[in-house]
């Protein structure tokens, strides 16, 4: 059994830059048992894709391993096909019916307002003053619900991000579960909504048939979507801004219409917010010749797979025209992100708003990082906005 005692996802070095360690793991330890997480860690692209797609062998739903899931944690993300399929299809249809052009215009207008309100040259914290309000505004606009209080919501989201690291820091579970219950309460307040409203919730209510209307699965899933949107947009707007602030050539390149779509995908491959996810083996299997027993947890490190040289040439370089770019920043298989287009639209809006206003980001001081391993996010990003 291969163990790497020095691999600690929450250590300051790993939080700052996990990629050299991932590179070593990709070459030397494609599958290893992490005693802290009590899980197999899988890093190669092909292995991660297999684990994520082979849902009959690798469960997302812990109930398939005999664990009882309390009602407040039941949502689309905790179910597997075939039970998951009708609910996921309903949510995907509601997502697809949203007017992307309207949401994009709304995103750019919001960002322009915030950016032009900043004193030119004066340093400010990008995360608190831009990423957080933007993520909240866009998530509320997508779902068609009132914006929750910014500070209270940031606390809920952070609690849920800490809960994702339960394997590493079980002491965070009570705080995380309390945050999930508060999120569900918020979700409850969005149902029912009047007919004719725009937004994803109103659309869901119109589409839901007897099977789902009134079910806590749909309300919990809607709440979970709000947070999946808020948490990832917050983190990715920060990760992208850090890259823009440290490489002055990036924004002019990214702003070229021919590069923006592939460029945004490349930023997500290069330094996305979702570092990994996990599954539970429900039958004995092997990965890279290592035996995985039924009941074992398997962590797929998506961010490591996104630097796998077997799939990505020069994986540590940002290539804005990288095509194809089969990165796993949005996962793969039956749990792949269905908010990916909206997530990319939001990042594109940041690029457009900055370049339309002729603005450049410049670091004002070193950023600080959140001590979360599953979600890779800055906590503060002090920047100047130059014109």
Residues at the site binding ligand HEM, with contacts judged by CB under 6 A: 52, 76-77, 88, 225, 228-229, 232-233, 236, 268, 272-274, 277, 302, 329-331, 335, 337-339, 342-343
DSSP SS3 for 376: coil
Task: Give least dist CB 123 to ligand HEM, A.
Answer: 26
Nearer residue to ligand HEM within complex by CB, 312 or 342: 342
Nearer residue to ligand HEM within complex by CB, 244 or 274: 274
Nearer residue to ligand HEM within complex by CB, 10 or 92: 92
The percent of the chain in helix, strand and coil, each rounded to the nearest 5, is: 50, 10, 40
Nearer residue to ligand HEM within complex by CB, 222 or 251: 222
- Burial class from Cβ neighbours inside 10 Å (0-12, 13-18, 19+) for residue 133 reads middle
Task: Name the residue among 198, 187, 189, 194 with its Cα closest to residue 225.
Answer: 187
Structure token digits, residue 315: 């994986």
**Which conformational region is residue 288 in: left (phi greater than 0), alpha (psi within -120 to 50 degrees), or beta?**
left
Task: Give least dist CB 195 to ligand HEM, A.
Answer: 22
Task: Name the residue among 376, 77, 72, 118 with its Cα closest to residue 234.
Answer: 376
Nearer residue to ligand HEM within complex by CB, 219 or 384: 219
Task: Give least dist CB 312 to ligand HEM, A.
Answer: 17
- Owner of token pair 């490489």: 247
The CA-to-CA distance between both ends of the chain, in Å, stands at 55
The rounded distance, in Å, linking the Cα atoms of 22 and 374 is 14
Task: Give least dist CB 5 to ligand HEM, A.
Answer: 27
DSSP SS3 for 300: strand
The rounded distance, in Å, linking the Cα atoms of 106 and 103 is 5
Task: Give least dist CB 87 to ligand HEM, A.
Answer: 9
* Closest chain position to ligand HEM (CB): 339
Largest CA distance in the chain: 60
Nearer residue to ligand HEM within complex by CB, 7 or 58: 58
Task: Give least dist CB 384 to ligand HEM, A.
Answer: 25
The rounded distance, in Å, linking the Cα atoms of 384 and 364 is 6
Nearer residue to ligand HEM within complex by CB, 199 or 343: 343
Task: Tell me the chain's radius of gyration from C-alpha atoms.
Answer: 20
Task: Give least dist CB 65 to ligand HEM, A.
Answer: 16
């Amino acid at each position: 059994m291969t163990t790497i005692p020095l691999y600690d996802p929450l250590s300051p070095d790993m939080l700052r830059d996990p990629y050299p360690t991932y590179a070593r793991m990709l070459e030397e330890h494609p599958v290893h048992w992490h005693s802290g997480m009590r899980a197999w860690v899988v890093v190669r692209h092909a292995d991660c894709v297999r684990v994520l797609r082979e849902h009959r062998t690798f469960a997302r739903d812990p109930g398939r391993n005999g664990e009882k899931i309390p009602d407040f944690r039941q949502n689309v993300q905790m179910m597997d096909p075939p039970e998951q399929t009708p609910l996921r299809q309903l949510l995907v249809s509601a997502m697809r019916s949203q007017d992307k052009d309207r949401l994009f215009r709304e995103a750019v207008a919001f960002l322009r307002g915030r950016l032009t309100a900043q004193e030119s040259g004066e340093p400010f914290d990008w995360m608190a003053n831009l990423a957080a309000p933007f993520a909240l505004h866009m998530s509320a606009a997508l779902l068609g619900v009132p914006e929750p209080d910014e500070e209270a919501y940031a606390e809920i989201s952070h609690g849920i991000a800490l809960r994702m690291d339960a394997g590493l820091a079980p002491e965070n579970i009570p705080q995380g579960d309390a945050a999930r219950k508060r999120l569900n309460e918020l979700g409850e307040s969005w149902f029912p909504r009047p007919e004719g409203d725009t937004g994803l919730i109103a659309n869901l209510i119109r589409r839901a048939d007897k099977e789902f209307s009134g079910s806590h699965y749909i309300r919990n899933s809607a709440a979970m979507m709000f947070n999946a949107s808020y948490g990832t947009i917050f983190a990715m707007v920060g990760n992208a801004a850090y890259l823009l602030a440290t490489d002055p050539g990036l924004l002019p390149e990214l702003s070229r219409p021919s590069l923006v779509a592939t460029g945004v995908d490349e930023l997500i491959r290069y330094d996305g917010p979702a570092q990994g996810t996990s599954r539970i083996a429900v039958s004995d299997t092997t990965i890279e010749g290592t035996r995985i027993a039924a009941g074992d947890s398997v962590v797929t490190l998506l961010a490591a797979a996104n630097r796998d040289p077997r799939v990505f040439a020069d994986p540590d370089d940002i290539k804005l025209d990288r095509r194809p770019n089969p990165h796993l920043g949005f996962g793969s298989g039956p749990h792949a992100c269905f908010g990916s287009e909206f997530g990319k639209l939001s990042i594109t809006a940041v690029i457009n708003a900055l370049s339309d206003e002729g603005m450049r980001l410049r670091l004002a001081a070193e950023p600080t990082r959140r001590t979360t391993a599953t979600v890779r996010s800055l906590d503060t990003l002090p920047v100047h906005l130059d014109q």
